[in-house]
Structure 1
Amino acid sequence: MQHINILMVDDHPIIIEGYQNTLMATKQDDQTLLIDTANDCDSANAMILRASEGTPYDVCFFDISLPSSADGKISSGEDLAMIARERLPDAKIVILTMFNESYRVHNIIKEINPDGFLIKSDLTSLELAEAFQLILKSPPYYTSTVSNFLKKTVISDIYIDDINRKILHLLSQGIKTRSLKEYIDLSMSAIEKRKKQLKLLFSVDDGKDETLLKEAREKGFL
């Protein structure tokens, strides 16, 4: 019998209930699932620390948007995933999120390199069940939105570093160029220089930010 210890973290109890019911209903005959749940960063962190000193989790599911810890040091599922990576090195880390912007997806893959990356809007009960079994045996498993972003970026011959990716992301959120330095630790002239490089890379002839964002979206960078 395979005993699988699972941690599920989501701030909506009804969503956790749905995940639990799906996994319990579709588990293999030789699997016993023991599922702990948490709805915020503090309780999840306490469970990770306790598991690291006792029976470690085999799989941890983290939603990205969560109530912060009381001391403000842990503010998201991304932070929890990093703690789990350190404290539970053998655990499979699965990200479940509503976020489907290319910038966030790439960031999470770069920072956490999760064993599973599931966009909630892609997910059906059947896919969650299949994803879970695949993550146990041969990770990683990415839902279609994540896979498509990665494919587009891989086939594109444009290399965009993290700062340029962040500039694109902020511009797409409606942040004006003059305000970018509040979010990025660069001088205004350095930011302007990078924007010029981006427009060259994406062959933007009219010099407009809107055209830059349109081209970046089409190539999967947003």
Structure 2
Amino acid sequence: MQHIHILMVDDHPIIIEGYQNTLMASKKENQILRIDTANDCDTAYELLQRAANEKHYDICFFDISLPSSSDGKMTSGEDLAKMTRDIMPNAKIVILTMFNESYRVHSIIKQINPDGFLIKSDMTSSELAEAFQHILSSPPYYSSTVSNFLKKSVTTDIYVDDINRKILHLLSQGIRTVTLREHINLSMSGIEKRKKQLKLLFSVEDGKDETLIETARKKGFI
């Protein structure tokens, strides 16, 4: 028998229920699935830490948009996926997201290189079932939108590192620039320099933080 330890992380319990039902209904006769679930970064973090010390996950499904951890260190499924790569390098990572913006897709692939990448608007239960088996045996599996983005050349390659993503997240939470130093280990000049880089990166012509946040949110970076 093939025992498969799975983690599913999504902030909508009904979506997780749908994923679970699909995998349980479509699994092979020789497969036994053990599925853990989480709806936020804190719960997922605890499950990952426990699994790292006990039985590692074979495959982890991460939604990108999740409630941040209470300490602010984990702000998305992207952060959880990176952590999983560090503590469970053999675990297969699957990204499921509503984001279907080309730049965002390329950024996730560059930073995480997931074993599966599914855009929710593309996905049917039969595709999820097919993707699951494909990822277990011969990853990667990318849904049609992701595959099409990868085939096309991207004119502007937006790459936002961890510190810049944290700056964007904090600004979106209403944290003022003068107090960012309390949350990020950078000098004020260093923070201002990064903000300028972000505004150039996202073509913010009016120089306003509000425009930066709005643009970054539209492109799926917040």
TM-score, normalising length from structure 1? 0.72
**Could you tell me how far apart the structure 2 residues matched to 1:111 and 1:97 are?**
15
Cα distance in 2, alignment partners of residues 163 and 115 from structure 1? 20
Distance 1:161 1:97 in 2: 20
Q: 1:183 to 1:121 in 2, by over 3 A?
A: farther
Aligned counterparts of 1:111 and 1:187: Cα–Cα separation in 2: 18
Q: CA deviation at 1:38?
A: 0.3
2:89 matched residue in structure 1 = 89
Aligned-partner SS, 1:89: coil
**Residue in 1 that maps onto 2:24:** 24
Residues 1:40 and 2:48 are matched in the alignment:
no
- CA displacement, residues 84-129 of structure 1 (integer Å, 9 cap, x when unaligned): 1101110000000000001110000000000000000000000000
Distance 1:187 1:52, change over 3 A: closer
SS class of match (1:48) = helix
Relative distance call for 1:186 and 1:98 in structure 2 (3 A) is closer
- Where do residues 144-159 of structure 1 align in structure 2 (5 Å cutoff)? 144-153=144-153
CA distance in 1, matches of 2:42, 2:15: 19
Question: What letter is aligned with 1:100?
Answer: N
Q: Match for residue 72 of structure 1?
A: 72
Q: Are the counterparts in 1 of residues 103 and 157 from structure 2 also a CA contact under 8 Å?
A: no
Given the superposition, is the C-alpha separation of residues 163 and 114 from structure 1 closer, same or farther in structure 2, using an over 3 Å criterion?
A: closer
In structure 2, C-alpha distance between the alignment counterparts of 1:42 and 1:163, rounded to whole Å: 26
* In structure 2, C-alpha distance between the alignment counterparts of 1:184 and 1:163, rounded to whole Å: 14
- Report how far residue 183 of structure 1 moved: 6.9
Q: Aligned-pair RMSD on alpha carbons?
A: 2.5
TM-superposed CA distance for 1:162, in Å, is: 3.5
2:212 corresponds to which residue? none
Q: Which amino acid aligns with 1:53?
A: N
Q: Work out the CA distance in 1 between the residues paired with 2:42 and 2:159.
A: 31
> What residue ranges of structure 2 are gaps of 5+ in the alignment?
161-191, 204-222
Q: Is the 8 A contact 2:107 2:159 kept in 1?
A: no
**In 1, distance between residues paired with 2:159 and 2:115?**
25
Identity percentage of aligned residues: 68
Who is 2:178 aligned against? none
> For residue 101 of structure 1, what is the amino acid of its counterpart?
E
Helix, strand or coil for the counterpart of 1:74?
A: coil
Give, in angstroms, the shift of residue 16 of structure 1: 0.2
The residue type paired with residue 105 of structure 2 is: V
Q: Which residue of 2 aligns with 1:52?
A: 52
Distance 1:96 1:187 in 2: 26
- Name the count of aligned residue pairs: 173
* Counterpart Cα distance in 2 of 1:186 and 1:18: 41
* Structure 1: gaps spanning 5 or more residues: 165-180, 196-222
| TM-score of the pair, normalised by structure 2 | 0.72
Cα distance, 1:186 vs. partner? 3.6
Moved over 6 A (4+): none
Structure with greater Cα Rg = 1
Look up the SS of the partner of 2:152 in the other structure.
helix
**How much does 1:163 deviate?**
6.0
Distance 2:54 2:36 in 1: 14
In the alignment, what sits opposite 1:211? none
- What SS is found at the alignment partner of 2:89? coil
Report the Cα distance in structure 2 between the residues aligned to 1:119 and 1:161, rounded to whole angstroms.
Answer: 20
- Does 2:109 match 1:109? yes
Distance 1:26 1:162, change over 3 A: same
Cα drift, residue 185 of structure 1: 3.8
**Cα distance in 2 between the residues matched to 1:187 and 1:83:** 24
CA distance in 2, matches of 1:82, 1:147: 22
* AA in 1 matched with 2:62: F
